[in-house]
């Protein structure tokens, strides 16, 4: 014990010298290991297939809405519920910035991106939602963007030409302890007949998906609801991030980068 007391000043001096060295901060805080996302972001930005899938999704949505307009005689007003991120607006430049700068997601850098209002429209999104609006269908934007991000979000939506963006139709996340969209969906359903829901994440559609927290249960619940996809639920492609990846990590966000990498590779099926 006495020896430890004697050597403590030397240890403190060594620590001070370490942090005085160039690059010491980088040693203390390792950069984010998100290089594995490069392929996903590149596919979103560079592939014609991604654009084709988006056009296909909105073409299918228009077909289903047209059918409902022709055949339904319900007296309730119609509505559509759409997610925003990677459903009608493209945030891949933010994901690319994270990769190039070796950064993890943070509330501050995300807010900076949102306030720039520079996200572009997902192919086919503006045209479809304006068509729906022209037919008297109310569009509701239900997003887990936070209240502090609402102004920048509204500005970006209006800039891109999305219809009827207002405090009533743009429903952001207000409960910091919960990301569920179910209460907001129910508030719309109480006043309108929701014809379609569109999103890039299963949680955008129903709380039955929110309650499925493992890779296996998410697949199982999807299979159980297969008839809803293409009829009431329209999915947009997003391999960059989402609850699908959180399920890979068992929703344990304290895992190290090495542990996350091991989790990802453990689920790969080879021959």
Q: Which two tokens stand for residue 61?
A: 């949505």
Residue in this structure with the two tokens 């994270």, named with its chain if needed = 98
CA 177, 180, 181 angle in degrees (round to 5)? 130
Give the rounded percent of residues in the chain with a pLDDT score beyond 70.
89
Residue 62: Cβ-neighbour burial (10 angstroms; 0-12, 13-18, 19+): middle
Instruction: Flag whether pLDDT at 67 surpasses 70.
Output: yes
Over residues 41-69, mean pLDDT? 98
SS3 category, 179: coil
Output the average pLDDT for the chain. Answer: 90
Give the pLDDT band of residue 176 (cuts 50, 70, 90): confident
Q: Which residues pair with 170 in a beta bridge?
A: 141
Instruction: Flag whether pLDDT at 266 surpasses 70.
Output: yes
Give the pLDDT band of residue 10 (cuts 50, 70, 90): very low
Residue 68: Cβ-neighbour burial (10 angstroms; 0-12, 13-18, 19+): middle
Per-residue pLDDT reduced to its tens digit, 199-234: 999 999 999 999 999 999 999 999 999 999 999 999
Residue 39: Cβ-neighbour burial (10 angstroms; 0-12, 13-18, 19+): exposed
**Whole-number pLDDT of residue 31:** 63
**Whole-number pLDDT of residue 102:** 94
pTM of the model: 0.87
Domain boundaries, the chain: 32-266
* Cβ neighbours, 10 Å, residue 267: 9
Instruction: Flag whether pLDDT at 115 surpasses 70.
Output: yes
Give 32-266's CATH code, choosing from 3.20.20.150, 3.30.750.24, 1.20.58.220, 3.40.50.1000.
3.40.50.1000
Give the pLDDT band of residue 103 (cuts 50, 70, 90): very high
Give the rounded percent of residues in the chain with a pLDDT score beyond 90.
86
Instruction: Flag whether pLDDT at 29 surpasses 50.
Output: no
Q: Which two tokens stand for residue 240?
A: 């960059």
Instruction: Flag whether pLDDT at 181 surpasses 80.
Output: yes
DSSP symbols for 198-237:
EESSGGGT-HHHHT--SHHHHHHHHHHTGGGBTTTEEEPP
CA distance 154 to 92: 19
DSSP structure class, residue 191 = T
CA distance 121 to 139: 16
SS3 category, 109: helix
**Whole-number pLDDT of residue 12:** 39
- Of 38-42, 44-48, 172-176, 198-202, which range is least confident? 172-176
**Whole-number pLDDT of residue 8:** 42
Instruction: Flag whether pLDDT at 18 surpasses 80.
Output: no
Contact 180, 207 (CB under 8 A): yes
Per-residue pLDDT reduced to its tens digit, 233-247: 999 999 999 999 999
**Whole-number pLDDT of residue 33:** 80
Over residues 47-57, mean pLDDT? 98
């Amino acid at each position: 014990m006495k020896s430890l007391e004697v050597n403590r000043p030397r240890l403190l001096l060594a620590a001070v010298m370490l942090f005085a060295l160039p690059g010491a901060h980088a040693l203390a805080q390792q950069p984010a290991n998100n290089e594995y996302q490069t392929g996903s972001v590149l596919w979103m930005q560079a592939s014609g297939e991604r654009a084709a899938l988006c056009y296909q999704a909105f073409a299918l949505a228009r077909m289903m809405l047209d059918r409902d307009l022709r055949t339904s005689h319900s007296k309730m007003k119609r509505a559509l519920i759409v997610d925003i991120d990677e459903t009608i607006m493209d945030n891949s430049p933010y994901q690319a910035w994270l990769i190039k700068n070796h950064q993890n997601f943070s509330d501050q850098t995300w807010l900076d991106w949102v306030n720039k209002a520079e996200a572009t429209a997902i192919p086919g999104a503006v045209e479809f939602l304006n068509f729906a609006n022209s037919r008297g269908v109310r569009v509701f934007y239900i997003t887990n963007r936070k209240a502090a991000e609402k102004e920048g979000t509204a500005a970006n939506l209006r800039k891109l030409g999305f219809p009827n963006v207002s405090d009533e139709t743009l429903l952001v996340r207000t409960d910091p302890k919960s990301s569920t969209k179910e209460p907001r969906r129910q508030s719309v359903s109480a006043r309108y007949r929701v014809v379609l829901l569109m999103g890039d994440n299963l949680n955008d559609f129903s709380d039955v998906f929110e309650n499925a927290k493992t890779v296996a249960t998410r697949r199982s619940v999807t299979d159980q609801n297969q008839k809803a996809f293409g009829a009431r639920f329209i999915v947009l492609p997003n391999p960059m991030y989402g609850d699908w990846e959180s399920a890979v990590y068992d929703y344990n966000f304290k895992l190290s980068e090495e542990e996350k990498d091991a989790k990802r590779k453990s689920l790969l099926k080879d021959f």
